[in-house]
Chains A and B, each alone.
Chain A
Amino acid sequence: MPSLNPVHPVLAIAVLAVLSAAASLSPQPRGAAAEAATMGKASVKIANFDFGPATITVPAGTPVTWTNNDDDAHSVVADDKAFRSAPLDTGESYSFTFAKPGTYAYHCGLHPQMHGKVIVTR
């Protein structure tokens, strides 16, 4: 990954544009979108058997919180098993802080056809 200025907002947006363009080259679940976390935290909504947004981009050290809005239970499991939530019943949340830059693919442990991605920048 090229060295980038991590604090410059215009650059950060440019990085996002590049990342989302790159991401669109590979198959993604519907509704996939990149989103910048500006408030030092980020959230992903689980609704209608989808992670929304399916792709989220955050600076390293940002906690990401998933909240289940479905009537069925879901969970958040890293494809490489690096993190795994307990089952989330309706209204329950799970948070994980990504310390290192990288791309983290995850899925629902109950419904593995549900996929999401966290892109962690410097």
Chain B
Amino acid sequence: MTKDKDLELAEPGRRDAMKCLAWAGAGVLWTMGGGVASSVLATAADAATRKAGSLDFVQISDTHIGFDKAANPDTLGTMREAIGKIKAMPVKPSFIIHTGDLTHLSKPDEFDTVDQMLKDLNLPVFYTPGEHDTLDEGGGKLFLERFGKGTWGTGYRSFDMAGVHFIGLVNVINLNPDGQGHLGAEQIAWLAKDVAHLSSSTPIVVYAHMPLFDAYVPWGWGTVDAQAALAPLRRFGSVTVLNGHIHQVIAKTEGNITFHTTRSTAYPQAKAGTPGGSPGPLKVPADQLRSVLGVRDITRLHGRGALAIVDQTLA
């Protein structure tokens, strides 16, 4: 199955695009420079074929509205720029996934601002909370009231789009002293049941705020019970996991499962394990800030084959 996809994707005419793209699910990965791949895909022929049965969506993450410290005093401005990038994409995405830390302090006006700004895109938005979105007295109640429609338990959900099964998980509620994100037995049982009826050829996209792989455990960049949650997904041919939280792009492949963290629109964080560093806001020279912030476009051409992931900076 995977080999067929590779052959299909490697046909002449697609090669140039492939150089710039990270193909998830095929187990092959290319890195790319900011935004180049989008223009490569922007041919009229591509736009036409992508209309029918194609999947195109955007991941935005860690907008941290309410943060105004040295690492970025204007998180509202950079989020606005990120929305501008989404509007300028050659093919209009059909929906948005926000992988958490919408806000910095879970304040009602911060939630309202994020909601209003993304509504400007006139697209469905699927939110999953980050730990910064669960700081209210109710431990995430404000988030659920606003964005929890159609979800289960702490806010997890699944839905189908263009033949792909999407699973939104929540790994930031009641964080334990064990030092990482966690999902909990109830959610893991729900997930196993949710995918039980699916054919193994169904492409799966999982999204959650904290990494579902060990990105860097000493800084809490992992999910303590991720392996248990992923167990029922191992039989699927293509599983793409999208995370936020660490404000940088990291990819990892484990069998048929590929993990991708994405950039923030607010501020960068140090590379994992930087000596003397911490997983907090990192101040970079002002003229470099936009090159470390960004959004991500995810595409599946012709409604089949692997997912293409394009990370676009705000620069």
The residues of A with any CB-CB pair to B shorter than 8 Å are 48-49, 70-73, 75, 79, 86-87, 89-90, 105, 107, 109-113, 115
Q: Which residue of B lies closest to A71 (CB)?
A: B69
Contacts A49-B219, A71-B70, A105-B177 supplied; 5 other A-B pairs, CB < 8 Å: A49-B280, A86-B135, A107-B176, A109-B131, A112-B176
CA distance A107 to B176 in the complex (A): 8
B135 cross-chain contacts in A, Cβ below 8 A: 73, 75, 86-87, 109-110
Q: Which residues of B, 113-142, contact A by the 8 Å Cβ criterion?
A: 131-132, 135
Residue from A70, A109, A112 with most neighbouring chain B CB atoms (10 Å): A112
Which residue in B106, B132, B179 is a CB contact (below 8 Å) of A112? B179
Assess whether B177 is in contact with A107, with CB atoms less than 8 Å apart.
yes
CA distance A113 to B176 in the complex (A): 9
Asked if A73 meets B177 with Cβ closer than 8 Å, knowing A49-B278, A49-B280, the reply is: no
Q: Which residue of B lies closest to A86 (CB)?
A: B135
A48 cross-chain contacts in B, Cβ below 8 A: 278, 280
A75 cross-chain contacts in B, Cβ below 8 A: 135
Assess whether B280 is in contact with A113, with CB atoms less than 8 Å apart.
no
Asked if A111 meets B281 with Cβ closer than 8 Å, knowing A73-B132, A79-B177, the reply is: no
- Nearest Cβ distance between residue A17 and chain B, in whole angstroms? 26
Assess whether A110 is in contact with B132, with CB atoms less than 8 Å apart.
yes
Assess whether A112 is in contact with B175, with CB atoms less than 8 Å apart.
yes
Asked if A109 meets B175 with Cβ closer than 8 Å, knowing A71-B281, A73-B105, A73-B135, the reply is: yes
Asked if A89 meets B220 with Cβ closer than 8 Å, knowing A71-B71, A71-B280, the reply is: no
Asked if A112 meets B280 with Cβ closer than 8 Å, knowing A71-B69, A89-B105, A90-B69, the reply is: no
Interface size (B, Cβ < 8 Å)?
23
Beta-carbon contacts of B277-297 to A below 8 Å, as 1s and 0s?
011110000000000000000
The 7 A-B pairs with the shortest beta carbon distances in the complex, nearest first, are A113-B179, A49-B278, A113-B220, A71-B69, A87-B135, A112-B175, A72-B280
- Nearest Cβ distance between residue A103 and chain B, in whole angstroms? 14
CA distance A115 to B175 in the complex (A): 12
Asked if A87 meets B106 with Cβ closer than 8 Å, knowing A70-B280, A111-B279, the reply is: yes
Beta-carbon contacts of B216-246 to A below 8 Å, as 1s and 0s?
0111100000000000000000000000000
Assess whether B279 is in contact with A112, with CB atoms less than 8 Å apart.
no
Residue from A70, A90, A105, A113 with most neighbouring chain B CB atoms (10 Å): A113
A49 cross-chain contacts in B, Cβ below 8 A: 219, 278-280
B180 cross-chain contacts in A, Cβ below 8 A: 112-113
- Nearest Cβ distance between residue B100 and chain A, in whole angstroms? 12
Assess whether A113 is in contact with B218, with CB atoms less than 8 Å apart.
yes
A79 cross-chain contacts in B, Cβ below 8 A: 177
B218 cross-chain contacts in A, Cβ below 8 A: 113
Q: Which residue of A lies closest to B70 (CB)?
A: A71
CA distance A72 to B280 in the complex (A): 6
Q: Which residue of A lies closest to B281 (CB)?
A: A71
Q: Which residue of B lies closest to A109 (CB)?
A: B175
B260 at the interface (CB under 8 A from A): no
- Nearest Cβ distance between residue B46 and chain A, in whole angstroms? 41
CA distance A17 to B184 in the complex (A): 40
A73 cross-chain contacts in B, Cβ below 8 A: 104-105, 132, 135
Which residue in A71, A87, A112 is a CB contact (below 8 Å) of B220? A112
B71 cross-chain contacts in A, Cβ below 8 A: 71
CA distance A49 to B218 in the complex (A): 11
B178 at the interface (CB under 8 A from A): yes
CA distance A109 to B218 in the complex (A): 16
B279 cross-chain contacts in A, Cβ below 8 A: 49, 111
A72 cross-chain contacts in B, Cβ below 8 A: 280-281
A87 cross-chain contacts in B, Cβ below 8 A: 105-106, 135
